[in-house]
Structure 1
Amino acid sequence: MNAPSAASAAKPTSLRAPELLAPAGSRDAIRAAIENGADAVYFGLDSGFNARARAANFAPDELPEIMEQLHSRGVKGYVTLNTLIFPSELPVVEALVKQLTLAGVDAVLVQDLGLARLIRAITPDLPMHASTQMTLSSSQCIAMAEELGIERVVLPRELSLDEIRKIRSETTLPVEVFVHGALCVSYSGQYLTSESLGGRSANRGQCAQACRLPYDLVCDGKEVDLGDQKYLLSPQDLAAFSLIPELVEMGVASLKIEGRLKTPEYVANITRHYRQAIDQSVAGQPVDFTAQQIEEMELSFSRGFSVGWMRGCDHKMLVPATNSSKRGVFLGKIVGVRRETVVVQLASSIKRGDGVVFDCGKPVDDSQGGRVYEVFRGRESLEAPVSSGQVELAFAHGSIDFESLWVGQQVWKNDDPQLTIKLRKSFESLHPIRRMPIDIAVQATIGEPLKITVTAPGVAALQLASEENLQLARKHPLSEQTLRDQFDRLGGTPYELRNLSAVIQGEPMLPLSLLGKLRHAMTAALDAALRAHQPRHVSSGSALADLRSMLPPREAAKQSPQLALLCRTLDQLRAAVDLGLSTLYADLADIREYKEATAIAADKNVQLFLATTRIQKPDEMGIFRAIAKHCEGERRAAGILVRNLSGMRFFAERGTPWIADYSLNVANDLTAALLHEKGAQRITPSYDLNRDQLVDLVSAVPPAWLEVVVHQHMPMFHMEHCVFCAVLSPGTNKTNCGRPCDTHDVKLRDRVGMLHPLKADVGCRNTLFNATPQSAAEVVPQLLKLGVQTFRVELLDQKPDELPEIVGLYQQLLADEVSARDVWSKLKAANRTGVTRGTLEERRDPLAIL
């Protein structure tokens, strides 16, 4: 294994190398990233507030040591604060931000808009990167983040190369792109499944990976036989090494590897390969990995490699649906089962000691597997790896139940001990393996000190001089080769000499001992320069207190509480206008129906707000313009229910009234204040808030700002992936799928038999809704006492004749004519699937698993 080096990309080129950003879930992973070529690492803190709560995160007190370790090797360190923050947590986060600012952290990743505002109020000197959790899927979304002082944007994984290129052309902010690792089927920041089913919020770093579970597909009431396709929401892993030249060419600032929950060996392995891909791309060379290189990456972790969405949507490729766990490298198929051995037709290499697993159509944890004890061909026991033909594999006695294996069964190699040893050596050495290239310019003049100017990546030029003047040489005058030989003696340091140039006047000489002393002074100066960071300013008082002091005072309710209703069909809307409600919402899959929806509401003099899509990608501004037409003229909609930052900006600039929906992830008073300043008439709190956290938010802002959803089917997965296309169409994407979503009613059945409705929107994105409607009836009396005036019920598939009972119960609750318990009881009896308290339930164990 050759040590990676920035010097390998020394060939002159007009292309700029993007940063290679590696994950670090442990100290070993940090070392693995450094020694294998990462330019930066990202990691979380065990104080929370990062989107990988299960990673081996670091204590805040470790930050100075970690940052010195990274900076001494020319590597940057980014801290993830990329979760939603609740009001009671903001003082803790404020102190934490000050701590990591003074520790020299190079940037923080954030999701929460209010946190971004707080950080910038605390210090102007800590760079902020927008996490992919912020769902910035277009340049219009990014413009809002830029207003908050965001300096880099991590783009959603769901973007194609063409979409990334367009965003690059429309924004000046640097962009960061994921190039390798696990893909979640849901948009980051828009994933509510773990919260809905088990109280574990992905927006709080507690994802339970429900996308990796098996589901059955029920179409129009009948189960569809999909054979071995059970993992309908489990994408293959992203592996975009072949696309690095295009990403380099379009000027992406940072290429990111996913994997803070992965092993240090994974970090070493994947970082090394992408270092090579970047260096080859910048040097103008093709990136053409060998089968062995790809196999090495698959062995560290692979559910099957794909380019994700980067070549556009190919739903069948993205989710083959036949597995959901790490399998490694496809080894071959069983062609014979004997008493104590199995015969395999090889598709890749195998040797003694390798680990294999037999694919039983179940998660790897439930499959058989073991370590290969011997490899036979005929009667010969093979020592060297073999990659073709048929071989007989033997295992430790009793480790395999051969009677449960069958001819034709797939076999996967999931471990190579020799590779693991090789990878560990790359980061367990006591001496640096990766070295930083330095260039030295020498000035040698008799009667003057020897002067050197040293340049290294990320460091200002250093100038040093010998303690003694140069004398006239009697025997061995200094030469450029002598200088090169002496300054190249950098073993044990993290530096390597790349170029040395010398201007030598006359025949000067300097003892080798003094040259060695100057060399040591040079490395010490480089060490100090790399570790140094500019002093940073942090507010002496409480920036949080200052921001909160600008909030308007809470005022008593000025009107009677009102109930709003969200309809998802025209039939529901026709029934709703006769229920005496003053405010309705239309969230229709076909926005061409918004014209008729607006007319229905206008005829009854009902305020109607039209919902935007949750995602807006490049070239989709036409959807906003089409919706905006219905907010003009005499028979117009009252405004817009906005679900993304681009829509907020678009309708605010047009002066169209708008309401902020739950997908904007408002979890604290600072975020609420920000959206109110931008013109939001009302703000829907995030679904991540439980009962106590919602009460905290209501207590922290004027309650008239808020509109609380009290009845709904939780939108769990919101996906670019289209299940309709993947399994009900011969096509691959929306251009050739035939739109089965228009004619079929589809539900996904989970392991406990619940049937979750699947819907497609105008952008062909799918939402999987929880089968069980959720009610917050029990918290309504408390919210009323706190001054909340507007509550919302959201329909899904309810028939028009079901609306009077649902709406009537909540109207009576708001009028204090029935108790919350009565509402709860009657709703439970009226709905076949039952009603849960959902995210507003007061939970004792917030980490309860699915």
Structure 2
Amino acid sequence: MRRRMVETNLKKNNRNIEILAPAGSYEGMRAAMNAGCDAVYIGGSSFGARAYANNLDEDTLLRAIDEAHIRNKRIYLTVNTLVKEDERLEKLDRYLDRFYERGLDAVIVQDLGVLHYIHRNFPDLPIHASTQMTLTMAEGANLLKGYNVTRLVTSRELSFKEIRAIRDNTDMEIETFVHGALCYCYSGQCLMSSMIGGRSGNRGRCAQPCRMSYQFYSENSRISNDEETYLLSPKDINTVAYIPELIEAGVDSFKIEGRMKRPEYAAAVTSIYRKYVDYYLEQGKDKYKDIIKSDIFNQDMMDLMDIYNRGGFSGGYGKTYNGKKMMSLTRPNHSGVYVGDVIKAWKGQVKIDLKENINSQDVLEIRDGEDKGYEFTTKDPMEAGRVLTANIGKAKLKPGLKVYRTKNNSLLDKICKEYIDQDVKQPIFGSLYARSGDRLKLTLKSNNISVTAYQDIVQEATKQPMTKEKLLTPIMKTGETPYYFEKLDMDMGDNVFVPVSWLNEIRREAIELLQEKVLHQYRRNLKKEQEGASTTLGYETSNILGETDNLAKDNIDNKSMGLSVTIQTKDQFKAALEVPEVDGIYVTYDMIDYKDILPMAEEAVERGKDFYLVLPYICRLSLYERLNKELPPIIAHDNIKGFIVKNMEELALVKSLIKDKPKEIILNYNMYVYNKEAYEFWREKGISHFTAPVELNYGELKALGIKECDMVVYGHQPVMVSAQCLYASTSGCIKQKGIISHNGHLVDRISKKFFVQTNCDSCYNIIYNGQSLSLLRQVYEVKELDPRNIRLDFIFETKEITLKVIKAFANAYIHNKNTSLGMSDKTEYTTGHFKRGIE
């Protein structure tokens, strides 16, 4: 836990690398700051993506902002959840205004409506684009320019090369997760917790189904085993060894994950990253290569393992695209550190051959299988090489079992003493002037800020003149203030007398003046900034999205709407062509042969149907370059009506390619237009057609208004999009066997099924809800919402099933006929969130 602090302006590299620490509480914030972070990200009472953390109330957060600034640190507030229209974004005014005026350094935002609203109403507040925005390229991030977005938090899946490409193409700061938990799904694209239990990760309420046990099947054959069942649980990442590569890639802020963890975790991890970032910046790459081979480095990595690891660590995606080595398949929580083996077991006792030193009050776990074991607390310290005898009660254990330490008590005590029990103080420089006939004067300086306090006129001594030591001692007593004197100069006469009370008073006054001046530079005046400017919503609240009035049933029945279908196979395409009621066919770009796209478009148009291309969920550098080559001839063709885009990078590319061509762009539902302010953001970008959010219920969709929307009423909905591959994590990579795409399914502990689709060409997995959405019986409610189109999404369906489903929905929604999909088995279909919604 050694830490080396080096002032940034003294570093040879002259780079300001921020260590950004998590804080789930005020104590966590203090611990991280004491350990050397430059900034903390923290949640308040609302709008944060960790709704179950010990978030700060308003008064405590205001105090935290001041404490951070006095310490020359920064506070970033998480406002990174999606906000429903009926929750009213105006509440952000009441939530943010005091933090803004106090000097909050930045907000972290996912919802583009929230971004749009904050930019207009809090003009000087920097905005950081959350990793939940799934930004993978500068082209996507640059769409946020003009909204005071100063920083993007990259998707965790990016390689060093991809981060470098972002650095070369944007002037925004780059923040990247360097340590801690890793989601299986691209952040911002996960609906699994939402679909299973209504706890949406996009709303800060993820139930972490990725840390549960599953079995994986290819067709009807199980290819996972009984020992490795946590198939969606990645190891935590640890990138200390890759600090040079991260800095050279252009990362400005090293973000540590862990707002749900204890202050000791934040302090321990922060101190180690502070130490090694500073070492690299001061000593350079060659010496860094040496230090990571040292015993000191190995001990620091062991400390990180002791604090928290999940089956060890991976180095993240910087150099590794995916794979089994990145997964914690046998245990989803803290794995601890291997410390020994059971060599003998008999009634009530075991003997353990220790491989590591243990401490008093360590917690050890004897594992019979990775996820099962007997836990006990040690009484006395003991060195490696000795044999520990432990009482185990009635537990039945056997020789050969592994023993792990899940709590290193000595390490935790050390962290507490160094970073939690007392605060690290800030250095100040002082100058005391004490000459008879002049006023007593104390000047303090800190971080280019200077203040001076005065007292009465200094008198000549009538008896014993004061010594320099007697003058300085009271001044040096900074007590419980956040400061200590790095240096205190004095200009004093030969024969002076100053009462000690004057010295104490001038010290207190000078420190108060310094604090006031430090904090004043951060203060903002919101009312002054908003004089003459609207502080309300950026649009008229009536019918911007075509809110539906209450209509009589006859009028509802007579409402007309388009019918669009999304297809992934040629058989599904043929089925869509056969149904005259189908107005538009949305063809999934990466599931159809490129050479077949234009012939399919021509055939669709000949049959009187609009033809759209559905672009992939994730667009990274290699795919972007491919699309940049393949899309121009497609865009030039009149038979292509438009595109359904699923990310900012594709949107930027398509907009740059279509220029003034009459092509339509439709935002998919994973672009999350949850409120009218988000719609206004997109209207400013020239986009007016989007897809209704699948997490909103009927009432919330009605409040939003979806007249210009597609609305998905059928289909297996994707719950995860992942750079990982379930085949690679179990039986091995199938691309190496010449397979381009393959399907399988997951089964959870209660036999719930999830379909899995691999795309080996672009190397990603999509996991779908095993129950298909069907709003076939909700015709009246959907028509009352009055979407522009209803949309049917087909994934694995055969031609026969596709045809049956299309005809059923055409009869129900267009011809007002009662119809059925054979829904006697209620477990086969779901109404999704249309009835229940999300938390």
Report the equivalent of 2:695: 688
Alpha-carbon distance in 1 for matches of 2:306, 2:23: 19
Report the equivalent of 2:300: 293
**Is the alpha carbon distance of 1:818 and 1:323 closer, same or farther for their aligned partners in structure 2, counting shifts above 3 Å?**
same
**Is the alpha carbon distance of 1:555 and 1:744 closer, same or farther for their aligned partners in structure 2, counting shifts above 3 Å?**
closer
Report the equivalent of 2:345: 337
Of the candidates 391, 402, 425, which is equivalent to residue 435 of structure 1? 425
1:828 is aligned with what amino acid? M
Report the equivalent of 2:722: 719
Does structure 1 residue 536 correspond to structure 2 residue 525? yes
Query: Residue 704 of structure 1 aligns to a residue in which SS?
Result: coil
- Tell me if the contact between 2:199 and 2:207 (Cα under 8 Å) persists in the aligned partners: yes
Aligned length: 807
Does structure 1 residue 747 correspond to structure 2 residue 745? yes
Of the candidates 80, 85, 92, which is equivalent to residue 83 of structure 2? 85
**Is the alpha carbon distance of 1:624 and 1:166 closer, same or farther for their aligned partners in structure 2, counting shifts above 3 Å?**
same
Report the equivalent of 2:655: 652
Alpha-carbon distance in 1 for matches of 2:247, 2:634: 43
C-alpha distance after superposition, 1:262-285 (max 9, x if no partner): 112222222222232233233326
Q: Could you list the runs of 5+ residues in structure 1 that have no partner in the other structure?
A: 374-382, 732-736
Report the equivalent of 1:670: 677
Q: How does 1:392-471 map to 2 (within 5 A)?
A: 392-395=388-391, 398=393, 401=395, 403=396, 405-426=397-418, 429=421, 432-440=422-430, 454-457=444-447, 460-463=449-452, 468=457
TM-score, scaled to structure 1: 0.86
1:567 is aligned with what amino acid? I
Alpha-carbon distance in 2 for matches of 1:422, 1:348: 18
**Is the alpha carbon distance of 1:462 and 1:619 closer, same or farther for their aligned partners in structure 2, counting shifts above 3 Å?**
farther
Of the candidates 477, 482, 500, which is equivalent to residue 494 of structure 1? 482
Alpha-carbon distance in 1 for matches of 2:718, 2:805: 19
Report the equivalent of 2:551: none
Q: How does 1:387-786 map to 2 (within 5 A)?
A: 387=384, 389=385, 391-395=387-391, 398=393, 401=395, 403=396, 405-426=397-418, 429=421, 432-440=422-430, 454-457=444-447, 460-463=449-452, 468=457, 490-498=478-486, 513=500, 518-532=506-520, 533-538=522-527, 539=530, 543-548=535-540, 552=544, 554=546, 560-580=560-580, 581-590=582-591, 593-605=593-605, 606-634=609-637, 636-653=639-656, 654-655=658-659, 656-680=663-687, 682-698=689-705, 703-729=706-732, 738=736, 742=740, 744-761=742-759, 762-786=761-785
1:565 is aligned with what amino acid? V
Alpha-carbon distance in 2 for matches of 1:555, 1:52: 32
C-alpha distance after superposition, 1:524-566 (max 9, x if no partner): 2322233333223254786334433597473889983111000
C-alpha distance after superposition, 1:26-83 (max 9, x if no partner): 232223223222322222223x321111111222344323323333333322221101
2:192 is aligned with what amino acid? T
- Tell me if the contact between 1:132 and 1:153 (Cα under 8 Å) persists in the aligned partners: yes
Alpha-carbon distance in 2 for matches of 1:643, 1:725: 26
Alpha-carbon distance in 2 for matches of 1:582, 1:406: 68
Query: Residue 736 of structure 2 aligns to a residue in which SS?
Result: coil
Instruction: Using the TM superposition, give the Cα deviation of residue 760 of structure 1 relative to its aligned residue in structure 2, in angstroms.
Output: 2.8
- Tell me if the contact between 2:435 and 2:496 (Cα under 8 Å) persists in the aligned partners: no
Alpha-carbon distance in 2 for matches of 1:210, 1:553: 35
- Tell me if the contact between 2:449 and 2:518 (Cα under 8 Å) persists in the aligned partners: no
Alpha-carbon distance in 2 for matches of 1:497, 1:584: 72
Q: Which moved more, 1:109-118 or 1:515-524?
A: 515-524
Instruction: Using the TM superposition, give the Cα deviation of residue 652 of structure 1 relative to its aligned residue in structure 2, in angstroms.
Output: 2.1
- Tell me if the contact between 1:41 and 1:77 (Cα under 8 Å) persists in the aligned partners: yes
Alpha-carbon distance in 2 for matches of 1:618, 1:561: 38
Alpha-carbon distance in 1 for matches of 2:36, 2:158: 26
Report the equivalent of 2:143: 144
Q: How does 1:111-510 map to 2 (within 5 A)?
A: 111-226=110-225, 228-284=227-283, 286=288, 288=292, 289-303=296-310, 304-361=312-369, 363=371, 367-373=373-379, 383-387=380-384, 389=385, 391-395=387-391, 398=393, 401=395, 403=396, 405-426=397-418, 429=421, 432-440=422-430, 454-457=444-447, 460-463=449-452, 468=457, 490-498=478-486
Instruction: Using the TM superposition, give the Cα deviation of residue 470 of structure 1 relative to its aligned residue in structure 2, in angstroms.
Output: 10
1:291 is aligned with what amino acid? N
- Tell me if the contact between 1:125 and 1:536 (Cα under 8 Å) persists in the aligned partners: no
C-alpha distance after superposition, 1:236-286 (max 9, x if no partner): 011222223443455533222211111122222222222322332333263
Q: Could you list the runs of 5+ residues in structure 2 that have no partner in the other structure?
A: 549-555
**Is the alpha carbon distance of 1:263 and 1:766 closer, same or farther for their aligned partners in structure 2, counting shifts above 3 Å?**
same
- Tell me if the contact between 2:354 and 2:388 (Cα under 8 Å) persists in the aligned partners: no
Instruction: Using the TM superposition, give the Cα deviation of residue 205 of structure 1 relative to its aligned residue in structure 2, in angstroms.
Output: 0.8
Between the two proteins, what is the percent identity of the paired residues?
A: 27
Alpha-carbon distance in 1 for matches of 2:204, 2:92: 16
Query: Residue 359 of structure 2 aligns to a residue in which SS?
Result: coil
Alpha-carbon distance in 2 for matches of 1:294, 1:814: 61
TM-score, scaled to structure 2: 0.88
- Tell me if the contact between 2:589 and 2:615 (Cα under 8 Å) persists in the aligned partners: no
1:298 is aligned with what amino acid? M
Instruction: Using the TM superposition, give the Cα deviation of residue 391 of structure 1 relative to its aligned residue in structure 2, in angstroms.
Output: 1.9
Query: Residue 246 of structure 2 aligns to a residue in which SS?
Result: helix
- Tell me if the contact between 1:73 and 1:530 (Cα under 8 Å) persists in the aligned partners: no
Query: Residue 156 of structure 1 aligns to a residue in which SS?
Result: coil
C-alpha distance after superposition, 1:691-715 (max 9, x if no partner): 32122212xxxx4311111111121
- Tell me if the contact between 1:248 and 1:281 (Cα under 8 Å) persists in the aligned partners: no
- Tell me if the contact between 2:35 and 2:271 (Cα under 8 Å) persists in the aligned partners: yes
2:132 is aligned with what amino acid? Q
2:256 is aligned with what amino acid? I
Query: Residue 428 of structure 2 aligns to a residue in which SS?
Result: strand
Alpha-carbon distance in 2 for matches of 1:741, 1:728: 14
**Is the alpha carbon distance of 1:486 and 1:254 closer, same or farther for their aligned partners in structure 2, counting shifts above 3 Å?**
farther
Alpha-carbon distance in 2 for matches of 1:300, 1:664: 37
Query: Residue 20 of structure 1 aligns to a residue in which SS?
Result: strand
Alpha-carbon distance in 1 for matches of 2:381, 2:616: 57
Alpha-carbon distance in 2 for matches of 1:103, 1:506: 43
2:364 is aligned with what amino acid? V
Cα RMSD (Å) of the superposition? 3.4
Instruction: Using the TM superposition, give the Cα deviation of residue 446 of structure 1 relative to its aligned residue in structure 2, in angstroms.
Output: 9.5
Does structure 1 residue 787 correspond to structure 2 residue 786? yes
2:586 is aligned with what amino acid? Y
Instruction: Using the TM superposition, give the Cα deviation of residue 664 of structure 1 relative to its aligned residue in structure 2, in angstroms.
Output: 0.7
**Is the alpha carbon distance of 1:775 and 1:93 closer, same or farther for their aligned partners in structure 2, counting shifts above 3 Å?**
farther
Instruction: Using the TM superposition, give the Cα deviation of residue 725 of structure 1 relative to its aligned residue in structure 2, in angstroms.
Output: 2.5
Instruction: Using the TM superposition, give the Cα deviation of residue 407 of structure 1 relative to its aligned residue in structure 2, in angstroms.
Output: 3.3
Instruction: Using the TM superposition, give the Cα deviation of residue 505 of structure 1 relative to its aligned residue in structure 2, in angstroms.
Output: 11
Alpha-carbon distance in 2 for matches of 1:238, 1:797: 35
**Is the alpha carbon distance of 1:413 and 1:314 closer, same or farther for their aligned partners in structure 2, counting shifts above 3 Å?**
same
- Tell me if the contact between 2:4 and 2:278 (Cα under 8 Å) persists in the aligned partners: no
C-alpha distance after superposition, 1:611-633 (max 9, x if no partner): 11222223432233245235334
**Is the alpha carbon distance of 1:510 and 1:516 closer, same or farther for their aligned partners in structure 2, counting shifts above 3 Å?**
farther
Report the equivalent of 2:553: none
Does structure 1 residue 828 correspond to structure 2 residue 831? no
C-alpha distance after superposition, 1:463-505 (max 9, x if no partner): 55675579999999999x9999886554543223445678x79
Query: Residue 838 of structure 1 aligns to a residue in which SS?
Result: coil
C-alpha distance after superposition, 1:405-437 (max 9, x if no partner): 2333322100123333333334553xx531223
Alpha-carbon distance in 2 for matches of 1:484, 1:137: 57
- Tell me if the contact between 1:302 and 1:326 (Cα under 8 Å) persists in the aligned partners: yes
Query: Residue 598 of structure 2 aligns to a residue in which SS?
Result: helix
